[in-house]
């Protein structure tokens, strides 16, 4: 009887790769699947179910299914990949400093002077006083509009 290559094992393993890599390349774009990676957890659950089926076949019916050696190898690799993914998404990204000294609601924001993306120094006072758009702030029209305030967004940078 011809031994099958045990599709369930291979499909399960491929799905582990899909389940881990698809987060950063796809699911991260949508808040609903980014804030909590339920889509990836679902894919990983199906992946490991397939691997379990494949292992049962390999060891339970070795005459019909291959996989007594590559099965456990794929399973271990899958567990490592999934484990790394879970570590990053549930632990590593939460290691953010407490920043207890950051300006709090009700306090005066500390003044600063730093360059804009064209290298021109900008002060907080200027930003607060002048309604501006994009990089034309020094020429910001003396307009009838008053600035109502400022939204300041700190981000990690672009690599």
- Which residues contact other proteins by CB under 8 A? 28, 31, 34-35, 89, 93-94, 96-97, 99-112, 114-119, 122, 124-125, 127-129, 132-135, 137, 146-159
Q: Which is nearer to other proteins, 1 or 35 (CB)?
A: 35
Q: Of 60 and 97, which has the nearer Cβ to other proteins?
A: 97
| Residue 123, beta-bridge partner list | 113
Work out the end-to-end distance of the chain between its first and last CA atoms, rounded to an integer number of angstroms.
55
DSSP state of 121: E
User: What's the distance, CA 2 to chain centroid?
Assistant: 44
Q: Phi/psi of residue 65, each to 5°?
A: -130, 135
Tell me the closest approach of the beta carbon of residue 124 to other proteins, in angstroms: 7
Cα distances from 20 to residues 27, 51, 110, in angstroms, run 10, 15, 42
Residue closer to other proteins, measured from CB, 36 or 59: 36
Output the CA–CA distances (angstroms, integers) from residue 138 to 46, 60, 82, 125, 128, in the order listed. Answer: 57, 75, 51, 13, 13
Nearer to other proteins, 1 or 102 (CB): 102
Nearer to other proteins, 52 or 127 (CB): 127
Q: How far apart are CB 77 and other proteins at their closest, in Å?
A: 25
**Residue 150 beta carbon to other proteins: minimum distance, rounded to whole angstroms:** 5
Burial of residue 125 (number of CB atoms within 10 Å: 0-12, 13-18, 19+): exposed
Query: How large is the C-alpha radius of gyration of the chain?
Result: 27
Instruction: Provide, rounded to whole angstroms, the least separation between the CB of residue 144 and other proteins.
Output: 14
* Least distance (Å) between residue 157 CB and other proteins: 4
């Amino acid at each position: 009887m011809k031994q099958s290559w045990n599709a369930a094992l291979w499909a399960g393993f491929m799905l582990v790769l899909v389940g881990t890599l698809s987060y950063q390349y796809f699911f991260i774009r949508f808040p609903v699947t980014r804030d909590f990676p339920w889509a990836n957890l679902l894919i990983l659950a199906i992946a490991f179910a397939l691997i379990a089926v494949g292992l049962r076949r390999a060891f339970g019916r070795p005459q019909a299914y291959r996989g007594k050696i590559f099965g456990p190898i794929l399973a271990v690799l899958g567990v490592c990949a999934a484990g790394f993914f879970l570590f990053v998404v549930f632990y590593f990204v939460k290691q953010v400093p407490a920043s207890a000294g950051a300006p709090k609601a009700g306090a005066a924001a500390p003044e600063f002077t730093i360059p804009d993306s064209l290298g021109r120094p900008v002060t907080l006072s200027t930003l607060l006083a002048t309604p501006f758009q994009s990089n034309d702030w020094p020429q910001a029209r003396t307009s009838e509009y008053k600035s109502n305030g400022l939204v300041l967004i700190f981000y990690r940078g672009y690599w």
